[in-house]
Structure 1
Amino acid sequence: MSSTVPPITELLDGAQQSAVHLEMRDVYAVPKESSQFQRWLETGERPNDPDSDYWREWTSAVRRTVTRGVIVRRARIVSEPVTDYIRYEHAGTPVNLAAGEQVRWLPRRRASDIALPGNDFWLFDGQLVRFGFFSGDGALVGHTLDEDPATVKLCASAFEAVWERAVPHEQYETH
C-alpha cells in the first residue's frame, strides 16, 4: 500500500501553496517515539530542541517549506479528557510551531456535525491527499495518495471546518 507513496518530506518539498494535516486519533504507536514517550511518562521531560537529531529531519522539511511561502497547518481532533499520548504530543508541539507550522486543537465533542474522512490525512495545494492508515492500537500500516476531486473536496472541507472551530495551540490546555 505504501510502496509508491513518497515520504512526507518529499511531498512537503513539492508543495507550492499549502500543506494541511488532520489528525484524529487519540494514540499513535510510532516506533521512533516509543522510548521518548516512555521517558516523558516517567519524567515529564520531552526533547524540544528543533535542531536536535530527534527533530531535525522534520523541522528542516517544514522550514524549507514555509521559507518558500507555503502555509503549513496541523489540526488535531482529540477526545477529552485527553490520553497520555495527546498530552505528550501537546508537550512537543512547540517544536512544530518553531519550525513554522500553525497548530490547533479541537475537542471531539465539538466535531460531531463535521463530515470527516475516515482516516488522518495531509492535503497538498488543495489537490493531493495522502491518507495514513493505522491499526487499532495506533501502529502505522500504510499510506495511499488520492487525487479524486470528491475526496479532495471532502478533505479540504473537513480540514477548514475543524480549523475554524479549533483552539490555537497556545490557548489549548490538556488537563
Structure 2
Amino acid sequence: MQEITADDLTELTGSFKRSMVHLEARDAYGTDTELPHLAKWLAGEPDDFAWLQDWCEKIAAHVNAGRSARRIKIVSEPLSDYQRWAYGAFTPIAEAGEDIHWVPRPRVSTVGIPGNDYYLFDGKRVVFLHYAGTGLNTSFTTTTDREVVEMCSSAFEKVWALSIPHSEYKST
C-alpha cells in the first residue's frame, strides 16, 4: 500500500478512463466540506447544493464521455442524521449521472466487504479511505495489487446486486 494525498484522489476521480466505483459503509462522516451543510440542515435551513456543483459537473462530463460512475451506500436503518441529510445531498449528484444505490446493512451480512470505504478506478487501482472514529478522514492508501483489486471489485458487485437505486430507496 502506498499513501496518497487528497489531491491525488481528486486527480484520480477526474482522470479515470472507463469506470469509477465507490463503496461507503459508515453511518456518519465528518468531512470539512460537508459539516457546515449538515449543521444547516439540522437547524432546518435549506441548502441550494451549490457547493456540490464542481462534483456534479465532473460526474456529468464523465457520463457524457461514456464513462460510468457508481456508488453504494451501506446504511443502518433507521438512518443516522448524516445519512438522512446525505439522501437529499445525493439527489443532484444522481441527477448529474452518478449511479447511486443504497443498501440496508442486514442485506450484506453474508458478503465479505473490505474494512474501509474505497474507490476502484478502471478495475485496476483501489484507493482506501481511512477515517477517525469521529468520521473525519485521516488518510488515503492505494494499491494495484491484483488480489486486492479483485476482492474490492467482487465485493462491490455482490453488494450492488443487493442494493436499491437512489430514486427508489425510501429513507427511514
TM bin, normalised by shorter chain, reads over 0.9
- The structural deviation recorded for 1:56 is 2.1
Closer, same or farther: CA 147–5 of 1 in aligned 2, 3 Å? farther
Aligned mates of 2:64, 2:9 — CA distance in 1: 20
Runs of 4+, deviation exceeding 4 Å? none
* TM-aligned CA deviation for residue 45 of structure 1: 2.5
Aligned-pair distance for 1:44?
Answer: 5.7
Residue 35 of structure 1 is matched in structure 2 by 36
- Indicate whether 1:6 and 2:8 are aligned: yes
On the 8 A contact 1:131/1:144 being kept in 2, the answer is: yes
Write the deviation string for residues 30-55 of structure 1: whole angstroms up to 9, x where unpaired: 1111111111011163324xxx2x11
Offset of residue 69 of structure 1: 0.6
SS at match of 2:77: coil
1:68 match: 65
1:101-140 superposed Cα distances (whole Å, 9 cap, x missing partner) = 0010000011010010010001011111011000011000
Return the TM-score normalized by structure 1. Answer: 0.92
How far apart, in 2, do the equivalents of 1:137 and 1:124 lie? 27
Aligned residues: 170
Whether 1:158 and 2:128 are equivalent positions in the alignment is no
Q: Structure 1: any 5+ residue segments left out of the alignment?
A: none
Change (3 A) 1:127 1:40: same
Q: Does 1:130 align with 2:117?
A: no
Q: Does 2:84 match 1:107?
A: no
Aligned residue type for 1:2: I
Structure 2 gaps of 5+ residues are: none
